Amino acid sequence: MNGGPRAKKARQPKPETDEAGPARMLSIAPIDGPLATPLNEVGWRLNPRLVGLLNKKGVRKVGDVLFLLPRVYEDRRTLKKISQLVSGERGTIIAEVKSAEEQYGRAGRRTFRAVLADSTGTVAATHFQSGGWLKAKYPIGRRLVVSGEVRRTSYGWEIPHPEVEPADDVESSPVHFNRIVPVYPGFERHEQRSLRELAFKIASRFSNDLEEPLPDDLRERHHLMTLADALRYLHFPPADAPLDALDAHASVAHHRLAFDELFFLQLGLALRRQGLKVEPGIAFDTSAPRQQIATKLLPFALTGAQARVVAQVSRDMSRPEPMNRLVQGDVGSGKTAVAVLASALALQDGYQVAVMAPTEILAEQHYRTFSKMLAPLGTSVRLITGSASAKEKRQQRESLANGVVRVAVGTHALIQEGVEFHQLGLVVIDEQHRFGVMQRHTLMAKGPRPDTLVMTATPIPRTLAMTLYGDLDVSVIDELPPGRTPIETRVYNEKARPKAYQAVQAELDKGHQAYIVYPLVEESEKVDLADATQGAEALTAQFPTARIGLLHGRMKNDEKEAVMLEFREKRVDVLVCTTVVEVGVDVPNASIMVIEGAERFGLSQLHQLRGRVGRGAAKSWCLLMAGYAKSAVAATRLKVMEDSNDGFVIAEKDLELRGPGEFLGTRQSGIPELAVANLGRDQALLAEAQDEARAIVAKDPELREGRHARLVKALEERWEGRLKLARVG
Ligand code: ADP
Ligand code: MG
């Protein structure tokens, strides 16, 4: 990570030392006014070292200092006597320096040790460094304030790497003593004092320049303090503030800021949602006869859940405002059928359909499904991928632009410049999590106002769905088609490998097929590729009678398709592959999957992979190879896979274990990061924030009312331009 506070994602568990962890800043970028003043123009002299340090962490403006969040707090309301220190807790004492010297510890490591005393005992301040500056810091006979985490050693009390301050201003200082003081993450102990001083000065001179972004009535309804009060409280809590709540980032001030973050996130999303709704869209004819024609295209009857979602989709489509709906459904729940039905409705009304998938393999599979199912309508379906020749591309574009091709199925090649439609009516996006919000909006902009159906097989916990898809209406397919037997999942270690292979052989003997998946981590693609290639060779020896195919991301598109075709047509029994097979691939005769290096995958990803089996009537297996280094955490994680086949349960666990940043890859998702709000903890707050945001946008869809001017400015500060980008449509 490149160190900028805004690059920080998930909230970290509380680290051991105060200075641990990068600086965290509220995602607010002051755009004008006094808060946008650069630190070096602040009007008083600043320590250049401190400014350099702050700049390095992305803290450049006066406002940025205000938005820097203290990680923990130190109770300096009353200073302690040395005899009152408690091992393992932070403590602050005043004492006189008795001795200060460098010592040589084990392995010749130099340490510095100063001994200080008050009337009740002595304590050693230790630094595992050396240098003249340390001696200067501890002049013999001087009274100092020393604070830090205290520990009891065989030599007595010790405070390693303490924060040391002259005790001269103890009685008079309103900043450093006689109060609860903030400790900022990402700064060393000895930097805390000057940073605290700066924060205090800025808080007292500038916090009144903060405009309150939230409307008063809203603030009062939710009992929220003003932003200025919250920030002052955060940096310099009142004497009666509850320390535990402060440390847990759950004080009234944190609450206000968490609401702020969630509210402006939701307001941005609500605007996107509304922005799409207010523009006139297509009111499709979804009358019963047309629905019957569509339903007859499917070779099976819809499940109850599918029927419900289809009803929601066709209701959306019949309305004049554009549909903007997300369909969530576990792997194998039959999302494609819903998309085919929606497409059939749009086609009968004379419109074109675009279907976008994240990989070429999946695009190709959808191409086959759509071609086959839509054939009775006489629809011309075309596959559009990046690997076509220039001439083919020109032809493809022409036939889309003149309307000869009615359905275009493709990868992100579909959203590239130059691809135009004659009359695009419906956009279907499969496996949404692979695409950013931006890409979705780019495709939507290709039609006058097409309806959009987004399908995702990564079940997303409700709070996250609200965060990520706050601009969409959500449907859930929570039922699998009949006749499925649950997949049985087992975690194996290296020693049990022969057993795993026996299980594969047993399935092959029944005429079934197998997947063997190798992890593909971007940074080491070559290594993994070697793994998969070598794996394929070793497996040839292991399964001498089986026909083994190899599929990986480096292969050319037509090679990939050829291998998939062989696997689908049962000319290949064992498909050795990297994660290219992850999404959507549908080969019902495959009944066993071995996942190598399973500990390297996220749970949701494992669940996705696993969903490639269990698609037929036969009982299916998923064997997770956990390697040698099976840490306790890895074991707990993988155990979840043995215990549950429910994508939502797994997603919740995954979120819990990995944090939202990693779960979502927030950086790509184009939404502001959360510094205070915690999606696990603040679910109720999120719902409140969403209600308020949607209510405001419903009444004033473009925030043009004068009383909403501050909201618009705050949105710009919090989304930093990303909102406009996202509204390209
Ligand atoms: P996913 O939701 O993972 O995209 P698919 O749409 O690929 O799932 O469907 C998985 C499999 O289930 C496909 O083989 C599909 O033909 C089949 N299927 C879907 N809906 C039904 C249904 N209602 N009855 C029987 N089979 C179905
Ligand atoms: Mg699918």
Q: Residue 331 C-alpha to ligand 2 middle, in angstroms? A: 7
Helical pair 709-719 and 252-278, crossing angle rounded to 10 deg: 100
Q: Is 458 in the pocket of ligand 1 (CB under 6 A)?
A: no
**pLDDT at site 25:** 80
pLDDT: which is higher, 458 or 214: 214
Q: Residue 455 C-alpha to ligand 2 middle, in angstroms? A: 8
**pLDDT at site 169:** 75
- Reported as a pLDDT band with limits 50, 70 and 90, residue 463 is low
With the most atoms of ligand 1 within 8 angstroms of its CB, the residue from 333, 581, 585, 645 to mutate is 333
Residue nearest to atom 10 of ligand 1 (CA): 332
Amino acid type, 156: G
Q: Report the candidate in 430, 428, 418 with the shortest Cα–Cα distance to residue 584.
A: 430
- CA angle at 473 for the pair 341 and 306, rounded to the nearest 5°: 35
- Average pLDDT of the segment spanning 288-295: 95
DSSP label of 448: S
Q: Which range among 189-193, 544-548, 655-659 shows the weakest confidence by mean pLDDT?
A: 655-659
**pLDDT at site 57:** 86
Is pTM, for the whole model, over 0.75? Answer: no
Q: Which residue has the tokens 């029944």?
A: 510
- Average pLDDT of the segment spanning 550-576: 87
pLDDT: which is higher, 15 or 271: 271
Residue 609, exposed/middle/buried by CB under 10 A (0-12, 13-18, 19+)? buried
Helix and strand totals (H; E) in the chain: 25, 22
- Average pLDDT of the segment spanning 618-646: 82
Q: Which residues contact 236 (CB under 8 A, 6 or more apart)?
A: 175, 179, 180, 181, 182, 199, 200, 203
Q: Which residues contact 577 (CB under 8 A, 6 or more apart)?
A: 515, 516, 517, 518, 532, 550, 551, 552
Q: Which residue has the tokens 């490639």?
A: 612
Q: Which residues contact 726 (CB under 8 A, 6 or more apart)?
A: 268, 272, 437, 438, 441, 670
Q: Which range among 299-313, 470-484, 665-679 shows the weakest confidence by mean pLDDT?
A: 665-679
Q: Which H helix or E strand runs over 55?
A: helix 48-56
Q: Which range among 431-440, 575-584, 621-630 shows the weakest confidence by mean pLDDT?
A: 431-440
Q: Residue 379 C-alpha to ligand 1 middle, in angstroms? A: 21
Q: Which residue has the tokens 């710009």?
A: 716
Tell me: pLDDT of 128 over 50: yes
- Average pLDDT of the segment spanning 631-637: 72
**pLDDT at site 702:** 84
- Reported as a pLDDT band with limits 50, 70 and 90, residue 411 is confident
- Average pLDDT of the segment spanning 324-351: 92
Q: Is 583 in the pocket of ligand 1 (CB under 6 A)?
A: no
Cα separation, 280 vs 238, in Å, equals 53
Strand ranges (DSSP E) for 350-445?
352-356, 381-384, 407-410, 424-430
Cα separation, 402 vs 419, in Å, equals 11
**pLDDT at site 350:** 95
Average pLDDT in the chain? 83
**pLDDT at site 11:** 31
Q: Which atom of ligand 1 is nearest to the CA of 333?
A: 2
**pLDDT at site 664:** 52
With the most atoms of ligand 1 within 8 angstroms of its CB, the residue from 586, 587, 613 to mutate is 586
Q: Which atom of ligand 1 is nearest to the CA of 335?
A: 2
Tell me: pLDDT of 529 over 70: no
pLDDT: which is higher, 599 or 399: 399
Query: What percent of the chain is modeled with pLDDT above 90?
Result: 40
Which ligand has an atom closest to residue 614 CA?
Answer: 1
**pLDDT at site 140:** 94
Tell me: pLDDT of 279 over 70: no
Q: Is 584 in the pocket of ligand 1 (CB under 6 A)?
A: yes
DSSP label of 11: P
Cα separation, 578 vs 596, in Å, equals 10
Cα separation, 572 vs 425, in Å, equals 39
- Reported as a pLDDT band with limits 50, 70 and 90, residue 725 is very low
Tell me: pLDDT of 706 over 70: yes
Q: Residue 457 C-alpha to ligand 2 middle, in angstroms? A: 7
Q: Residue 552 C-alpha to ligand 2 middle, in angstroms? A: 20
Tell me: pLDDT of 628 over 60: no
β 424-430/451-456 pair status:
parallel
pLDDT: which is higher, 173 or 354: 354
**pLDDT at site 527:** 55
Q: Which atom of ligand 1 is nearest to the CA of 338?
A: 6
- Average pLDDT of the segment spanning 534-550: 86
**pLDDT at site 417:** 66
- CA angle at 210 for the pair 205 and 212, rounded to the nearest 5°: 145
Q: Which residues contact 221 (CB under 8 A, 6 or more apart)?
A: none
Q: Which range among 374-383, 412-421, 487-496 shows the weakest confidence by mean pLDDT?
A: 412-421
Q: Residue 333 C-alpha to ligand 1 middle, in angstroms? A: 6
Contact between 517 and 609 (Cβ < 8 Å): yes
pLDDT: which is higher, 359 or 86: 86
**pLDDT at site 409:** 95
Q: Which range among 272-286, 370-384, 559-573 shows the weakest confidence by mean pLDDT?
A: 272-286
- Average pLDDT of the segment spanning 401-407: 94
Beta-carbon neighbours within 5 Å of ion ligand 2: 584
Cα separation, 184 vs 181, in Å, equals 10
A 10 A CB-CB count for 406 gives 24
Residue 119, exposed/middle/buried by CB under 10 A (0-12, 13-18, 19+)? exposed
- Average pLDDT of the segment spanning 221-242: 95
DSSP secondary structure of 554-599: TS-HHHHHHHHHHHHTTS-SEEEE-GGGTTT---TTEEEEEETTGG
- CA angle at 675 for the pair 671 and 680, rounded to the nearest 5°: 85
Tens of pLDDT, residues 41-51: 888 888 888 99
Q: Which range among 2-6, 260-264, 423-427, 445-449 shows the weakest confidence by mean pLDDT?
A: 2-6
With the most atoms of ligand 1 within 8 angstroms of its CB, the residue from 296, 300, 456 to mutate is 300
Q: Is 616 in the pocket of ligand 1 (CB under 6 A)?
A: no
- Average pLDDT of the segment spanning 385-412: 89
**pLDDT at site 430:** 87
Residue nearest to atom 22 of ligand 1 (CA): 481
Tell me: pLDDT of 162 over 60: yes
Per DSSP, helices labelled H in 215-324 are 216-221, 227-235, 243-247, 252-278, 288-296, 304-318
Q: Is 607 in the pocket of ligand 1 (CB under 6 A)?
A: no
Per DSSP, helices labelled H in 349-403 are 360-374, 390-401
**pLDDT at site 633:** 66
